Amino acid sequence: MQNTSFSLLLSYQKQYPIFVKQAASYIREYLNSTPEFAIVLGSGLGEIAQQIDIIETIPYKEIPNFPVTSIPSHSGELVIGTLENRLVIGLKGRRHFYEGATLPLNIGILQTVFAVHVMAELGIPNYFVTNAAGGLNGKYKVGDLMLIKSHINFLPNPLLGAHYPFTRVDDGNHTHRFQPMNEAYNQDFIKKFLKENKKFSKNIHQGTYLAVTGPTYETEAECIAFRDGLKADAVGMSTTPEVIVARNRGMNVIGLSCITNKIAKDGTNATNHEEVKSILESNDVKERITGSVVNFFKSLND
């Protein structure tokens, strides 16, 4: 039985590009043209999907090979629609590494980034990633937003292991084995987002996002080390592997964190998942998130 299970896992690893293409082919049947953006809606950020004029909704479980999520605040649906006249795909929830970390042969991280590969396979040029994060920077307040200007990745790198024969969205060439990660987050998108959201300027920052595996929240010592030693501004459990793959596939990336809890000066991170959800459900935070994203998409029409 163990040998059979190992063979199945080895087959998954080898056939990974085929599985990606099968999922993309299924979704493509619902599309009349190529979406301009894929928008990943992190924990509690599904409210953004309500701003999309939805044409189709596809549960993840109906898409061939598509990893489902086990987190209650991630509904596990793919929506196709328009946002300010731009065709987009919204991913309502993500597969975190900690959900599949028990799988050997790097499969846990391959499942984590599966959706990104599918979006690239569809030819989508832009990837908008969102998440909920803890605020390490003492100037941040609960409910603030942080545009990610760079990141620190403490999750497994999704480009480890086999180098698959994927092609890039931007030039059609094969992906790079050694992917540069300087300016991973598109500077033009960041400038445009800030310019169009002066209304929320007091609550929007630029900073460095640090990703850990979770699902534990960080100790006092870890928080102090991340903030004072590594100069990170926010910490979370996702995003960076997705961005690595998005850039490797030639996509432009913009990243937005919602600060759901503030980590004290002494490193105390007294929070839980329910507290994080309650912040994201507050009307002020909902308005700030959805309003700023809509304003960004409006500016793309100029």
Residues with a known catalytic role: 43, 74, 96, 98-99, 132, 237-238, 261, 273
CA–CA gap between residue 229 and residue 58 (Å, rounded):
43
**What's the per-residue H, E or C state across the chain?**
CHHHHHHHHHHHHHCHHHHHHHHHHHHHCCCCCCCCEEEEECCCCHHHHHHCEEEEEEEHHHCCCCCCCCCCCCCCEEEEEEECCEEEEEEECCCCHHHHCCCCCCHHHHHHCHHHHHHHHCCCCEEEEEEEEEECCCCCCCCCEEEEEEEEECCCCCCCCCCCCCECCCCCCECCCCCCCCCCCCHHHHHHHHHCCHHHHHHEEEEEEEECCCCCCCCHHHHHHHHHHCCCCEEECCCHHHHHHHHHCCCEEEEEEEEEEECCCCCCCCCCHHHHHHHHCCHHHHHHHHHHHHHHHHHCCC
CA distance 143 to 179: 34
Question: 299, 192 in Cβ contact below 8 A?
Answer: yes
CB atoms near residue 54 (< 10 Å)? 13
213 class by beta-carbon count within 10 Å (0-12 exposed, 13-18 middle, 19+ buried)? middle
Q: Tokens standing for 148?
A: 């990610």
